Amino acid sequence: MKTLGIIAEYNPFHNGHLYQIQKAKELTNADCVVIVMSGDFVQRGTPAWTDKYLRTKMALLNQADLVFEMPVVYASSSAETFALAGVSLLNSLGFVDMLCFGSECGDLLKLQDIATFMQHPPKDFYQTITSYTAKGFSFPLARKKAFLDCYKTSNPDTTQTSDFLNEYASILDDPNNILAIEYLKAIQTCNSPLKPVTIKRSDAGYHNTDLNAQMHLASASAIRQNFFDSHTLTQVQSYLPASVYQLLQKKNNRFPITENDFSDLLYYRLCHLNESDKDILDLSDELFFRIKKELSSYTDYRSFIEKIKTKQYTYTRISRVLLHLLLDIRQTDIFPTQGLIPFVPYARLLGFSKAKSSYLRQETKIPIITKPADGVSQICDFYESSDSSLLQAVCALYEKDLFASNLYQRVQSRVLSCPLNDEYRQKPVMLS
């Protein structure tokens, strides 16, 4: 019995995601696929296009067997934290053997080489990054330049040419390569036995908004953008598995949700911005004062991101900061238990295939939460011998998930007129 793990957002699930699962199962002979998925808010700092339960069902209809939620604190964080959380959760389940991820590169050896460098960089690596960001470069570009500066210096015995170094550095241009490197680093950090498997992406890329009519492959960004432009699912039908298209047609009152649906809530939050908020995750002093300065011209969520965006601070970075302000996610929320309890201390089950439900009865290193209302008591029972302050931190982490989902559901209900149960009364999606 082999079990394959995938960390994803499925925002929404498309043909490329189905290809990844099918190809990974073919390469590994896995008979169970476990997904760790972002909940109602995603890594680029935005609300998901549709709710986590509908996205869970998309995955279960397309060969996923178990779907767990990544806590919102990690799901809306940097690539490094996002990857570490996903690997930690899969590792703590105890029954997952492999981690599969997409990459533009498709070369596991090159990705592992860069990951090893990043995991154990030379002393001046981060200083070099800082020197570039101080010159106005964005963090991704500063990291790439620092890599070029430091890689050859740290490998003096190699005879790498400039073409070789540029090829390696170009790997850092692509978002799925970056995530792949972070997954490989996370496996090292967790000392995890997970075997990495990478599938070369065939679509145009994470940020690309073009549709490839010949291959019927497109990024989730392209699907969302083309849906917004056309206001119809027909435009993107061929880029979705038939089961997903049919599900979305049937549940067309549950999407789309955008940042601007949260505009008034964000404005209210920013009006109360004060010195005590300086420990909000990703919020620098410079951004704090830019937000205060520009707030008088606030019109909506998206345009405000554009207004305070700079060459140094990317759209995604600003988007995450504003989301962290809205959800009150702080620096201290990232490592609440300081390594004394697994990095992700619980596994919230979003859905499962009935045929693979036996996996849920296996012994795990973290509690599996199936009923949201019972989550806190399950956590308390599982960690009853732990220090009370650690237990409180884990419960607070879980309660942020509940708050975030309830907030999303209220907005979804108001904007789309689709009343759903609040988070306390939700049940996992089960596929017979």
Q: Please tell me whether 272 is known to bind a ligand.
A: no
334 has binding-site annotation: no
Please indicate if the annotation marks 86 as binding a ligand: no
Annotated ligand binding at 15? The verdict is: yes
Would you say 425 is a known binding-site residue? no
324 annotated binding-site participant: no
What is the spatial distance between Cα 80 and Cα 75, in angstroms, rounded to a whole number?
A: 11
Q: Say whether 168 counts as a known binding-site residue.
A: no
Q: Is 216 labeled as ligand-binding?
A: no
Indicate the pairing of strand 98-103 with strand 3-8: parallel
106 is in an annotated binding site: no
* Cβ–Cβ under 8 Å, residues 177 and 168: no
Contact 158, 152 (CB under 8 A): yes
Give the residue from 310, 277, 314 showing the smallest Cα distance to 292.
277
Q: Is 19 annotated as a binding residue?
A: yes
In eight-state DSSP terms, residue 276 is G
> What 3-state DSSP class applies to 314?
coil
Say how far residue 197 (Cα) sits from the centre of its chain: 18
Long-range pairs, 288-295, Cβ under 8 A, ≥24: 295/270, 295/271
- Has 16 been labeled as part of a binding site? yes
CA 252, distance to chain mean position in Å, is 24
Find out whether 339 is annotated in a ligand binding site: no
| CA–CA distance, 100 with 86 (Å, rounded to integer) | 12
Q: Is residue 409 within 8 Å of 51, Cβ to Cβ?
A: yes
Comparing C-alpha atoms, which of 172, 159, 73 is closest to residue 115?
172
94 is in an annotated binding site: no
Per the annotation, where are the binding residues for ATP?
A: 7-20, 102, 176, 201
Binding site residue list: 7-20, 102, 176, 201
